[in-house]
Amino acid sequence: MRRKLVVANRKMNGNLSSNKVFFEGLLAGTQDHKNADYVVCVPHPYLFQAEAMLKGSLIAWGGQNMSRYESGAYTGSVSPGMLKDFGCEYVIIGHSERRQRGHDTDLSTGERFEVATNAGLKPIFCMGETLEEFEDGLTDIVTIRQLNAVIQEIGMQGLAKGVLAYEPVWAIGTGRAATSEHAQNILSFLRGHIEILDAEVARNIRILYGGSVKADNAAKLFSMPDIDGALVGGASLNTEEFVALCQAASQAKSN
Ligand code: 13P
C-alpha cells in the first residue's frame, strides 16, 4: 500500500512570523487527518524553526536542495549532513527551477540522489518536460532520460529509498495543471518502466504529481491509481488551502 504524500515546496518564501502561522495552522489542520503523510520543505535558514515546531508531529520537513559534497570550499552550499543536523528527513533533488538555471544536470541529480540516501535522507526526485518538449510529444523521452540518469547511478535498490515527482515545467506556477488523465498516464508509464526493472520497487515507490495543484483539483488527482500525492508550490503559501489539500490526501484511498 502506498500512502498518499503531500509535500510543500515553499520555494524562497516565508519569514519567521509567517512560517509560525503556517506551521501552527498545519499542526492544527492535520491532526484529524492521519491517513496521509506530510512534508514541508522550507528555505535552509528556517529548518531550525521547522524542527522546533514540528518535531514529534505527523509532519516531516526537508530541504529544497543540497550539495553533493560533504564539506569543503563550496561557498553558499549546504551539505546533506547539515540537513540531517536540523532533523530533515527529505530533500528535493533536481527541481526544474534548478535544472533550468544550469545548477542541475541529469548527471548531477543522479550523484546528489546517491549522496542524499547515503546520508539517510529521502530524496524527492523531480522530473518533467518543458512546454516545447510537451508540444513536441517528448514527455516520455525526457522523463525516462531523467529517471534513467538516477537509476544508472544508484540502481533499483537505491531508487527505492526515494520518492519520485513528475512536474511538467509548463504546469508549474501557471495555474494550468496537467489533467488528472495526463498525469495518470505519465505516472503509469514511469511506473511501468520501473516495473520492467524491478516489480517490487514499482509496487512500493511513491510517485507524486506537481504543477498547479490546488484544493479544488487535488481530489481528482488523488483518485488516480498511480498518483500517490502531490508536490505543491503556490498553494502551500496559503495555510487554509494547503490544509484542505492535506485533507483531500487523507481522505483519498491509498494505491
Ligand atoms: P506550483 O504548485 O506553484 O505550480 O509549483 C509546483 C512546484 O514547483 C513544486 O515543486
Q: Contact at 8 Å (CB) between 9 and 64?
A: yes
CA of 227 to the centre of ligand 1 (A): 16
Integer Cα distance of 59 and 149 in angstroms:
30
Tell me if residue 167 is catalytic.
Answer: yes
How far away, in angstroms, is 72 Cα from ligand 1 center?
31
Q: In this structure, are residues 6 and 227 in contact, taking their beta carbons and an 8 Å threshold?
A: no
CA separation for the pair 96, 191 (Å, rounded): 21
Give the mean pLDDT of the chain.
Answer: 97
DSSP-assigned states of every residue in 46-86: GHHHHHHHHTTSSEEEEES---SSSSSS-TT---HHHHHHT
Among protein residues, the one whose CA lies closest to atom 2 of ligand 1: 233
Q: Which three cell numbers stand for residue 146?
A: 531523467
Cell of 173: 506556477
Mean pLDDT of 42-51: 98
Distance CA 213, CA 232 (A): 6
- Which secondary-structure segment (H or E) carries 165? strand 163-166
Mean pLDDT of the 37-65 span: 97
- CA–centroid distance, 123 to ligand 1, in Å, is 17
165 contact partners, CB below 8 Å, separation of at least 6: 7, 124, 125, 126, 127, 207, 208, 209, 210, 231
Nearest CA to ligand 1 atom 1: 233
Q: Cα–Cα distance between 103 and 138 in angstroms, integer?
A: 23
Helix (H, G, I), strand (E, B) or coil at 56: coil
Residue type, 37: D
Q: Which domains does the chain have, with CATH numbers?
A: 4-251 (3.20.20.70)
Residue with the smallest CA separation from ligand 1 atom 7 is: 233
pLDDT in tens, 179-217: 999 999 999 999 999 999 999 999 999 999 999 999 999
Distances in whole angstroms, Cα of residue 35 to Cα of each of 1, 2, 7, 43: 12, 11, 15, 27
Q: State the cell numbers at 70.
A: 560533504
The number of the ligand 1 atom at minimal distance from the alpha carbon of 175 is: 4
Does residue 228 register a pLDDT over 80? yes
Which among 33, 167, 181, 195 is annotated as catalytic? Answer: 167
CA of 40 to the centre of ligand 1 (A): 13
94 pLDDT band, cuts 50/70/90, is very high
Mutate to test the pocket of ligand 1, among 99, 232, 236 (most ligand atoms within 8 A of CB): 232
Ligand 1 atom closest to the CA of 213, numbered from 1: 2
DSSP state of 44: G
Element containing residue 247 per DSSP (H, E): helix 239-251
CA 37, distance to chain mean position in Å, is: 12
- Residue 103's pLDDT is what? 85
Question: Phi/psi of residue 39, each to 5°?
Answer: -135, 140
Of 70 and 212, the structure prediction assigns the larger pLDDT to 212
CA dihedral defined by 10, 15, 21, 24, rounded to 10 degrees?
70
| Tally of CA atoms within 13 A in the half-sphere of 66 that contains its CB | 35
Pick the catalytic residue from 95, 97, 114, 153: 95
Q: Is 133 a catalytic residue?
A: no
Structure confidence at residue 48 (pLDDT): 98
Read off the pLDDT band of 255 (50, 70, 90).
Answer: confident
Span from the CA of 41 to the centroid of ligand 1 (angstroms):
12
Q: Which residues does a 6 A CB cutoff place in the pocket of ligand 1?
A: 9, 95, 167, 172-173, 210-213, 231-235
Model confidence, pTM: 0.97
> How far is Cα 100 from Cα 131, in angstroms, rounded to an integer?
13
pLDDT at 90: 98
Angstrom distance (rounded) from CA 37 to CA 4: 6
